[in-house]
């Protein structure tokens, strides 16, 4: 007889466990699944290319994000954006569940002479300890849409714990109508799987991140194969800013 629930973390773990064994893509238990995903580096997976996201480059070039601060790249995979951010003067922490992804990212960073601190593990478990804020930028390209609905609570708690006052969240995720599952939140629990990731509408993103100020929310632009940037138009590219801090400061 299990009476284990005492706090919110217990509830979140119980909800994790409602998913079918092979459906996990977001806890430490999913590391092996992602390792297999990254095992063949020659597979034609769009984000295996060694290019930064077009929106990230643009936001830096337009001055919407100031270069040179501290950044956390969440679910960094083989580290293409982490390396780019290091080259733009950021001090970079990058985290991923998959040891295979981190090994690949470290190899690429070594070859490029990029200084990035890579961490293997669950970002939500490491936030506030190994991944110590404050970060001026939390960057996430393609991790958020692999989280089940209840883990948005962990995601917002991570932002609360590590994002600097006035800092930015830069997020790309599946766009409803173009990519990802459009099931209602409750149906993911009924079906006990995430169907390859969750689609989001702009309204849903605005509601989830309503504690932050929207700076820009647009579709990522498709980039041709010979472009130096990565771009797929089935993704949203969203930039949000955290409130600047104590009363008296200008509003976020």
Q: Residue numbers of the site for ligand SAM (CB under 6 A)?
A: 26, 34, 47, 75-78, 80, 95-98, 101, 122-124, 141-143, 146
Q: Cβ of residue 43: shortest distance to ligand SAM, in angstroms?
A: 13
**Residue nearer to ligand SAM on the CB measure, 12 or 213:** 12
**Residue nearer to ligand SAM on the CB measure, 3 or 110:** 110
Q: Cβ of residue 244: shortest distance to ligand SAM, in angstroms?
A: 28
**Residue nearer to ligand SAM on the CB measure, 196 or 211:** 196
List the strands of the sheet with 70-74, edge to edge.
Answer: 116-120, 91-96, 70-74, 135-141, 163-174, 235-241, 213-219
Q: Cβ of residue 193: shortest distance to ligand SAM, in angstroms?
A: 15
Q: Cβ of residue 117: shortest distance to ligand SAM, in angstroms?
A: 14
**Residue nearer to ligand SAM on the CB measure, 54 or 122:** 122
* Structure-token pair, residue 250: 């200008």
**Residue nearer to ligand SAM on the CB measure, 133 or 142:** 142
Using CB atoms within 10 A of its CB, is residue 175 exposed (0-12), middle (13-18) or buried (19+)? buried
Q: Cβ of residue 176: shortest distance to ligand SAM, in angstroms?
A: 17
As a whole number of angstroms, the distance between CA 235 and CA 221 comes to: 8
Evaluate whether 220 touches 235 at the Cβ level (below 8 Å): yes
**Residue nearer to ligand SAM on the CB measure, 3 or 43:** 43
Q: Cβ of residue 142: shortest distance to ligand SAM, in angstroms?
A: 3
As a whole number of angstroms, the distance between CA 131 and CA 120 comes to: 11
**Residue nearer to ligand SAM on the CB measure, 47 or 189:** 47
Q: Cβ of residue 78: shortest distance to ligand SAM, in angstroms?
A: 6
Of 56, 103, 55, 44, whose CA–CA distance to 77 is shortest? 103
């Amino acid at each position: 007889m299990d009476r284990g629930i005492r706090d919110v973390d217990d509830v979140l773990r119980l909800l994790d466990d409602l998913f079918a064994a092979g459906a996990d893509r977001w806890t430490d238990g999913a590391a092996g699944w992602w390792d297999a995903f990254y095992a063949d580096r020659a597979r034609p997976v769009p984000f295996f290319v060694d290019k930064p996201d077009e929106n990230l480059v643009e936001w830096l070039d337009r001055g919407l994000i100031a270069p040179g601060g501290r950044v956390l790249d969440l679910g960094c995979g083989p580290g293409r954006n982490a390396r780019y951010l290091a080259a733009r003067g950021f001090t970079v922490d990058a985290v991923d569940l998959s040891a295979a992804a981190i090994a690949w990212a470290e190899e690429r960073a070594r070859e490029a002479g990029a200084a990035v601190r890579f961490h293997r593990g669950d970002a939500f478990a490491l936030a506030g300890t190994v991944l110590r804020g404050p970060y001026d930028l939390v960057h996430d390209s393609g991790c958020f849409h692999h989280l089940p609905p209840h883990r948005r609570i962990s995601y917002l708690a991570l932002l609360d714990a590590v994002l600097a006052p006035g800092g930015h969240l830069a997020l790309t995720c599946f766009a409803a109508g173009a990519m990802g599952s459009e099931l209602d939140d409750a149906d993911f629990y009924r079906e006990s799987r995430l169907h390859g990731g969750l689609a989001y509408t702009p309204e849903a993103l605005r509601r989830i991140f309503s504690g932050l100020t929207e700076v820009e929310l647009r579709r990522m632009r498709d980039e041709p194969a010979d472009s130096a940037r990565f771009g797929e138009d089935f993704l949203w590219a969203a930039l949000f800013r955290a409130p600047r801090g104590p009363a008296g400061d200008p509003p976020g």
